[in-house]
Amino acid sequence: MPTGAHGQVPGAGALLAILRDGQARTRGELAELTGLSRSTVSQRLDGLMDHRWVVAGEGAISSGGRPATVFAFNGGARVVLSADLGATHARLAVLDLGLTVLAERAVEMPVDQGPERTLGCVVDTFHELLAATGRDPVQVCGVGVGLPGPVEHASGRPANPPIMPGWDGFAVPEWLGARLGAPVLVDNDVNIMALGEHWAARPEVDHLIFIKMGTGIGCGIITGRRLHRGAQGAAGDVGHVRVPASDAPCRCGNTGCLEAVAGGASMAAALRAAGVEARGGRDVVALMRAGDLRATRLVRQAGREVGAVMAAIVNFFNPSVIVIGGDLAEAGEQVLAGVRETIYSRSLPLATQHLSIRVSELGDRAGVIGAAVMVVEHVLSPETIDRIVTK
């Protein structure tokens, strides 16, 4: 009989993991896939149906002339709340367990107003979105949140975030969990974007790097089809890699950081110094699209600066796909051209032989999809399901 990773007989969670591919199966098919007896499969299925994780229906006509009973994953059994918080704006959504967006909203929500005020707005918006979907708060099985700064993954608390005054060490999971009645998982925004893009658009890719070019610059790393966070959750913080021949002051306290040279805030500041009104990266892209040559040059140069840092990472990590997301990704080919120019000229030919560099397919939705992926993979893990079903 097949056993799990720790030598255990497959439980209800293992059956659910099989059914999550969307294909309905009979008891016999599940018994064949797991090596369990039909009676044990039936027992496991009864537990899953009691919690509405699985539903039963009629399949094809069996050899005995009667429709076979088939079992399928019930993606509508629960809902997930997802929030992608940026420096100045946020996107929030309610999704089902199949990661279909049921309701979403983009709002202005500057994080520098502090954690309690910002998260209070998050709670209020979640309640409004739940009401719009007709779902009850008791149906929420988890909450996923992305923050625009370093997050200690084990605790879910921000760690010295340079653009988030008052957030350092704030107990985000506990604060939100007490008000939403569900477990809360927190990560930095670029990690959840990488998760979302990989799940929705590149599931077959083993090694992917997601670059967020917005107010700041960050990097999410997928290796072996799993998110790489590093020892403390700080992996991928390329925004504070020093750029040669630059002494531009950065909000982190250092000078010459990539973010201080190529971030949306720095480009907007350069345009304002030239007498052009621009508040952030979105305004820079809008000006570029309107034909402003200064904005176009800034965007192209930002791509080159990011590409120079990424060239070293390409040589070191050898990804097969680099995805550009964030506000500046809306610049399309202008920013891609700059990134490609320096990556291809400064990386090893073998490392770039089959390298694809492209703009995010999910766009603004990458973060909320990724935060939901983070929650669903936790909530529906075989270990979690086994604990719930055997209670």
Verify that 248 and 223 share a domain, yes or no: yes
Domain of residue 213: give its range.
Answer: 202-361
Verify that 34 and 100 share a domain, yes or no: no
Stretch 227-243: mean pLDDT, rounded? 91
Q: How many domains does the chain have?
A: 3
Verify that 126 and 243 share a domain, yes or no: no
Contact 214, 236 (CB under 8 A): no
Verify that 174 and 240 share a domain, yes or no: no
Verify that 54 and 110 share a domain, yes or no: no
Quote the pLDDT of residue 6: 45
Stretch 5-24: mean pLDDT, rounded? 83
Q: Which residues contact 34 (CB under 8 A, 6 or more apart)?
A: 2, 10, 14, 15, 18, 41
| 371 is a domain residue | yes
The domain boundary residue, chosen from 20, 46, 74: 74
Q: Produce one character per residue of 329-358: b if its CB has 16 or more CB atoms within 10 Å, e if not.
A: bbbeebbbebbbebbeebbeeebbeebebe
In order, the DSSP letters of 46-90 are HHHHHTTSEEEEEEEE-TTSSEEEEEEE-TTS-EEEEEEE-SSEE
Verify that 243 and 356 share a domain, yes or no: yes
pLDDT in tens, 162-199: 889 999 999 999 999 999 999 999 999 999 999 999 99
pTM: 0.91
Verify that 58 and 141 share a domain, yes or no: no
Going by C-alpha positions, the residue among 266, 312, 271 that lies closest to residue 290 is 271
Kindly give the pairing relationship between strand 89-96 and strand 79-85: antiparallel
Question: How many C-beta neighbours within 10 Å does residue 374 have?
Answer: 25
| 2 is a domain residue | no
pLDDT in tens, 195-220: 999 999 889 999 999 999 988 899 99
Contact 43, 33 (CB under 8 A): no
Verify that 183 and 255 share a domain, yes or no: no
Stretch 346-366: mean pLDDT, rounded? 94
248: pLDDT strictly greater than 60: yes
CATH code, domain carrying 140 = 3.30.420.40
Verify that 256 and 327 share a domain, yes or no: yes
* Structure confidence at residue 233 as a pLDDT band (50, 70, 90): confident
| 391 is a domain residue | no
pLDDT in tens, 138-163: 999 999 999 998 999 889 999 988 88
Verify that 155 and 180 share a domain, yes or no: yes
Q: Which residues contact 152 (CB under 8 A, 6 or more apart)?
A: 158, 159, 232, 233
| 386 is a domain residue | no
pLDDT in tens, 60-82: 555 556 788 999 999 999 999 99
| 168 is a domain residue | yes
Verify that 91 and 70 share a domain, yes or no: no
pLDDT in tens, 251-288: 888 999 999 999 999 999 999 999 999 998 999 999 99
